[in-house]
Amino acid sequence: MNIVIAGAGSIGLLLGSFLAEAGMAVTFYVRREEQAQLIRDEGIQRINQDGTASVFDVRATTDIRLLVSPALWIVAVKYAGIPDLLAELQQVEVKNPILFVQNGIGHMTLVEKTNLPHIAFATVEHGARRVDNRTVNHNGVGMLTIAPFRGGRQLFDSVGQAHSATFPIRYEINAEQIMMRKVLINCMINPLTAILKVKNGELLTNDYCRQLFDTLFDELINAFPEIAEVLSYEDVVEVCRKTSRNQSSMLADCLAARPMEIETIVTAVLRKAQERHQSLPLLTMLETMLYALNQRGEGM
């Protein structure tokens, strides 16, 4: 099975490593030739939780016209890169099944407006940190959850061949529900860790962090009560425990003086709450603080 992964950040590298380990032919589509050449020459490397390293031979290119077909595409670029990539996909008339794996929910609206025929969305709850242009540290085992959005699920079944104890995969029916579940988890973890400059686990062990964490959960579930069917308080606590040593994506971006993905996570949830005439005062305050950090343009 041929797999094309657009984006070689932490999640792209992690998914690519497990899919290659399962015997699939993985090709990365990246922006920088320097990274493509490094991946072609040395493969991608995964640092496992026991400290061992696994290296996998994969392909890489910066030219979309050279990508193998037929192939299943996995889009693992950040939200800001989605519009340009969607334009490229439609320009070259890609008809392949495409699995979108992003933080937040903003990309769903962008993807829905396209004429791409076969689409699924996925959420990732693994702990992963990119070490360099070819290496990812697997910090915590989570779940890869996949749900079809347009077209049949069978087009995405091949990903399930990589299912294992260290890379569990499940399929769901309702793509919007799994995306809302994940974005609410992100809303509880990312803003607090980025503003307070703590790793995920400290949200549970620091009494004052825990108080904010608990308040935020109650606020979000009151605004989106239907999500309580698939997301409990214990579920979010378990994500923090499994990724206790991790820096959230927002904290990592903030420390590296990169723009944080606020719009597709926090702002998108606030908009949905506003449509329901629901108030989220704590999350609104956190959003303002995050944009203030972004505007400073410096890590703390």
* Residues noted as catalytic: 182
Alpha carbon dihedral 69, 12, 295, 288, in 10-degree steps, equals: 110
Neighbours of 109 (CB within 10 A): 10
Provide the token pair at 257.
């003086």
Residues ≥6 apart with Cβ < 8 Å to 234: none
Q: What is the largest CA-CA distance in the chain?
A: 54
Cβ–Cβ under 8 Å, residues 19 and 58: no
Give the whole-angstrom CA distance, residue 31 versus residue 117: 25
Closest CA to 165 of 190, 186, 142, 195: 142
126 token code pair: 């693994």
* Cα dist from 281 to 65, 207, 215, 288, whole Å: 48, 21, 10, 11
Cα–Cα distance between 154 and 270 in angstroms, integer?
Answer: 34
Question: Cβ(170)–Cβ(49) under 8 Å?
Answer: no
β-bridge pairing 72-75 and 98-101: parallel
* C-beta of residue 122 within 8 angstroms of C-beta of residue 148: no
Are 157 and 216 in contact, with CB atoms under 8 Å apart?
no
The DSSP bridge pattern shows strands 72-75 and 2-6 to be parallel
